[in-house]
Structure 1
Amino acid sequence: MVVGICVGETSLTEVTFISDKMPKVGEYVTIDYDGKKVLGMIENLIRGNDALNVDINDFKAIQKISRIGVEDNYIRGKVKILGDVNDNLKLPRTPVLPGTEIKLADREILKEIFKVRNPLKLGCLVNQSDVEVNVDANPILSRHLAILAMTGAGKSNTVSVLIDQLLSYSVPVFVFDMHGEYRDAEFPNGDVNLIRPKINPRYMTFNEIRRLVNIPKNGYIQERHFRRAFRTANDMLKDGRANTNNFLQIMHNILHEESLDEKADKQIIDVMNKIDDSMDRYSKLFDKNAANILSNIKHSHVNVLDLSQVDESVASVLVSHILRNSLQRSKDAANSGNKDELMDNSIFFILEEAHILAPNKRDSDSKTWIQRVAREGRKFGLGLCLVSQSPKTVDHDALSQMNNMIILRLVEPEDQRHVQSASESLSQDLVNQLPSLNVGEAVVLGLMSKVPTLVKIDEFKGRRHGDDMDIVSHFKNIKEKEAEQLRIQEQETLDMGYDY
């Protein structure tokens, strides 16, 4: 089927066409020229009329022209060149000849395009529901992924579909679950392994706890006292001399004993005060009986760290602690030369609310280690997926390391600009389509897909929490129950022989 004819000046990357029938944005087309069959995607469409141009300001004249029924309507579109179908989608070296016909791509060509080595089925083409969209799992796991959307656009459903597909390959998925959406979820391809948000202080570094208590780097005297208390507290936990699981309380008690000495340094009191300030925030974080969190990770499971009951500061500590230990463990395996051990340590981390854990305009421990894993993780089998409904507030450096993106509906221009600046393959024409996407529709691009794609994401077949609350129905039911109780009371009164 002929979509249109190339007009004007053409280039190696895009062509303009005129059509007498309306195609759809996102449809794939082929252009035959110079012995090549070149694949393209329609990224822009305009409908106009030369007789009804914007320079006419006379309403009656416009009305009269409209009644006559002019035949000057035209459809102009833009096609992005994706590559030669017969040459592994390499970009052609010569531009299209003006006057060349543009045709809709055959279904068989599209099926071949979406045939990948390790397929993850995301859904189907928005404009052709009979064509499945499969992306390659390996580039996602090794080159990272961002899932971005405004609230209510289908982000959680997309994450669930992705997790379930990864489980079919027994990939260990680790979710930092900020809102408890996945703790009771059910996935057709695997089970949930719920992990408590607890850290055994034996597995924490001195610097991690020092930052928790806000001991400054240049506070050398305070740091010396704090380091001594840290080491003593660890020793007490190891040999069972501690009478509490609260690691900070143990350190406080140690310093308190020292402060009773008349010759004690007054700065010990300052350190104790800082520990007191941190006690309420972090006392529930530590558990001397907790195993190393990484040792609890199970293959073929969704390993869910439920962060819904902790504040942002504790969540930041947990994220940084886990990512730091995971990266170090993988580096140790790589340095040992044991390839099997390195592969066994591979994990795909999914970070919900990435704008909280990796904020764009302020520093945090979690942001530091997210950036580190984003830069270095692919060499050590660690993958990241940043999920956010506020892309503009996600750290730009971390986002730019995401070599794959699934972008659902985005309306805010600042969100769009931030995402486009972090992605080399997101064209302005595709950005312009983001506000018009329906719920569950997404632009998919990056190394996981041979071509940019408009996808209708599958509906997740399992069970999860996180849908919008039906507040109206809740209070409506309360009203109906009250009315029913009142009716029963009135009937009981009548049955007893009383009359109103």
Structure 2
Amino acid sequence: MTKSKNVELIGNILGVTRPDIIEILIDPKVTRIKPLEIGEYIAVEYPSEVLKHEVLALITEITLENENIPDSLMRSPESYDQLEKLGDFTEGERLTARARVVGYYDPDLENIIFPRFPPVPSGKVYRANKDNLSKIFSSDNGIKVGNLRAHPEVDVKLDVQELVRRHTAILAITGAGKGNTVAVLSSRILELNGSVIIIDPHEEYPSLRDLYSDPNPVVVFSPEGDPSKNYKPISFRWNNFSTEEIFDILEIRENATRQKGLIRDILEQLRGKQWDINDFENELKKKKEENKGLVLSIQDHIKGIRELSIIDKSKETPIYEETSDCLVSKGQITVISLSGLPIKVQQVVVARLCKKLYDAGVAWRRKLSRDQLPCPTFMVIEESHNFIPSMSSAKSSFPISRIAAEGRKFGIGLCIVSQRPN
């Protein structure tokens, strides 16, 4: 192992070792002044003739026991008082830990390499120092987003270009700073002449405008627009949604086969036309004589979305257009506020947006004569667990997954933000 300056030996590797997990016997005296913590990084010794780099591992479990105080002797709290009178029992303490191997930084490859063989039992273990941690967590050209919790002296800096190329997840509980992290990343992406689209289900991100002076790069869209807040309206055409997506917009139940059948008939008659919900209802009324109960039940669903201005007869907000308000532009942060929309409608809108963005990326890459992506774009999906749920399906799941799988080659980076990482 390449020896670090000022290393602190804290213990040795125990028993059977594995490439990914190691057990460590730690000297309790060494860690009494400065305890070893879960989440702390350690440096693990490998044979120098095999590996010359310092391998880092992350502490995941810590156990402290005292061999001089077996459980069989401890019948009540008074038993401890009696033992203390007999002398110092700290000599019997045994401190062990489990750590997950992270790997080592290879300066030639400029990457973290995972060793595919285990360390030697009895090998030495040290506290990781700032220099070696900084090689991994502090990118030279990165932006600072915080510090390592167990190593506050180490800055965490992220390479924005790598984030866009590899995709990103920001996972934390409410109030932990997810929004602030998005704001910091967005500002740096603008410096690189990129663009950012933020899907905002709860109207949390318009405040990003407060961080910039005029000309303000933050453009906020909402379903109806709001001149008093300087929100621009966003819209999508009815005839660009699939039949299944329209079922979700109308909130038609999965097992409502008769309703779905009638809706399919009407959509077939409207195929190739520009239409809105009024046109749909006019066609529906023509079926009333033969399907009165069915028509009335579908009309009840229509009442709930009649004022849904985000879906229009003829207008659809473009991905990019020089002469009008658009969703993507070099140096622009676009916030799409979906606040107030039913969750099913939010999912359908996000699905449509992802499809448009993907198609624009393909057009840019292949130089097609249609709506092209004008610059690399970073798409942030807040509350992503609502759009790619793990335990159920959503219309937005596949379009988001496709961007995750293929978006990089078409200039699209993806960032999911959630407080529910499962």
Q: For 1:199, which of 230, 235, 242 is the aligned residue?
A: 235
SS of the residue 1:37 aligns to:
coil
Residue 57 of structure 1 aligns with which residue?
74
When residues 324 and 97 of structure 1 are mapped into structure 2, their CA distance, relative to the original with a 3 A threshold, is: closer
When residues 97 and 269 of structure 1 are mapped into structure 2, their CA distance, relative to the original with a 3 A threshold, is: closer
| Structure number having the greater helix percentage | 1
Q: For 1:331, which of 357, 362, 384 is the aligned residue?
A: 362
Is the CA contact (8 Å cut-off) linking 1:120 and 1:137 kept in structure 2? yes
CA distance in 2, matches of 1:58, 1:224: 77
Q: For 2:305, which of 271, 281, 285 is the aligned residue?
A: 281
Q: For 1:30, which of 40, 43, 47 is the aligned residue?
A: 43
Residue 148 of structure 2 aligns with which residue?
125
Residue type at the aligned position of 1:31: V
CA distance in 2, matches of 1:342, 1:229: 28
Q: For 1:227, which of 268, 286, 298 is the aligned residue?
A: 268
Superposition TM-score, scaled by structure 1 size: 0.64
C-alpha displacement of 1:21: 2.2
Q: Relative contact order, CA 8 A, sep 6+: which one is greater?
A: 1
When residues 184 and 282 of structure 1 are mapped into structure 2, their CA distance, relative to the original with a 3 A threshold, is: farther
Q: After superposition, where does 1:316-395 map in structure 2 within 5 Å?
A: 316-336=347-367, 344=374, 346-391=376-421
Q: 1:250 aligned to 2:302?
A: no
Percent identical? 24
SS of the residue 1:299 aligns to:
coil
SS of the residue 1:10 aligns to:
coil
CA distance in 1, matches of 2:409, 2:106: 32
Residue type at the aligned position of 1:141: V
Q: For 1:2, which of 3, 9, 18 is the aligned residue?
A: 9
When residues 4 and 223 of structure 1 are mapped into structure 2, their CA distance, relative to the original with a 3 A threshold, is: same
SS of the residue 2:146 aligns to:
strand
CA deviation string 1:324-347 (max 9, x = no partner): 221222233334479xx9763543
Q: 1:69 aligned to 2:88?
A: yes
When residues 117 and 204 of structure 1 are mapped into structure 2, their CA distance, relative to the original with a 3 A threshold, is: farther
CA deviation string 1:240-267 (max 9, x = no partner): xxxxxxx2113334555x56xxxx9835
Q: After superposition, where does 1:155-304 map in structure 2 within 5 Å?
A: 155-185=178-208, 186-187=210-211, 191-197=217-223, 198-201=234-237, 204-205=240-241, 207=243, 208-209=245-246, 212-213=249-250, 214=252, 222-229=263-270, 231-234=272-275, 247-253=276-282, 256=285, 266=290, 270=294, 274=298, 277-285=301-309, 286-287=311-312, 290-295=315-320, 296-297=326-327, 298-304=329-335
SS of the residue 1:383 aligns to:
strand
CA distance in 2, matches of 1:347, 1:74: 53
Q: After superposition, where does 1:374-453 map in structure 2 within 5 Å?
A: 374-391=404-421, 419=422
Q: For 2:132, which of 104, 109, 115 is the aligned residue?
A: 109
C-alpha displacement of 1:216: 6.2
Is the CA contact (8 Å cut-off) linking 1:148 and 1:389 kept in structure 2? yes
Residue type at the aligned position of 2:75: D
Is the CA contact (8 Å cut-off) linking 1:24 and 1:42 kept in structure 2? no
CA distance in 2, matches of 1:118, 1:210: 48
When residues 368 and 90 of structure 1 are mapped into structure 2, their CA distance, relative to the original with a 3 A threshold, is: closer
C-alpha displacement of 1:180: 0.8
SS of the residue 2:378 aligns to:
strand
C-alpha displacement of 1:188: 5.4
Superposition TM-score, scaled by structure 2 size: 0.74
Residue type at the aligned position of 1:18: I
RMSD across aligned positions (CA): 3.5
CA distance in 1, matches of 2:394, 2:40: 43
When residues 154 and 323 of structure 1 are mapped into structure 2, their CA distance, relative to the original with a 3 A threshold, is: same
Q: For 1:310, which of 327, 341, 351 is the aligned residue?
A: 341
Q: For 2:30, which of 5, 18, 21 is the aligned residue?
A: 21
CA deviation string 1:234-291 (max 9, x = no partner): 4xxxxxxxxxxxx2113334555x56xxxx9835995686356224325323345744
Residue 228 of structure 2 aligns with which residue?
none
C-alpha displacement of 1:13: 2.8
SS of the residue 1:141 aligns to:
helix
Q: 1:141 aligned to 2:164?
A: yes
SS of the residue 1:294 aligns to:
coil
CA deviation string 1:181-223 (max 9, x = no partner): 1123333597321013242427724534465345969966653
Q: After superposition, where does 1:487-498 map in structure 2 within 5 Å?
A: none
SS of the residue 2:319 aligns to:
helix
CA distance in 1, matches of 2:139, 2:390: 34
Is the CA contact (8 Å cut-off) linking 1:120 and 1:166 kept in structure 2? no
Residue type at the aligned position of 1:225: I
C-alpha displacement of 1:300: 2.4
When residues 55 and 120 of structure 1 are mapped into structure 2, their CA distance, relative to the original with a 3 A threshold, is: farther
SS of the residue 1:385 aligns to:
strand
SS of the residue 1:344 aligns to:
coil
When residues 232 and 100 of structure 1 are mapped into structure 2, their CA distance, relative to the original with a 3 A threshold, is: closer
Structure 1, gaps ≥5 residues long: 235-246, 392-418, 420-500
Is the CA contact (8 Å cut-off) linking 1:193 and 1:303 kept in structure 2? yes
When residues 45 and 143 of structure 1 are mapped into structure 2, their CA distance, relative to the original with a 3 A threshold, is: same
Is the CA contact (8 Å cut-off) linking 1:248 and 1:275 kept in structure 2? no
SS of the residue 1:365 aligns to:
coil
SS of the residue 1:55 aligns to:
helix
SS of the residue 1:377 aligns to:
helix
Is the CA contact (8 Å cut-off) linking 1:42 and 1:77 kept in structure 2? no
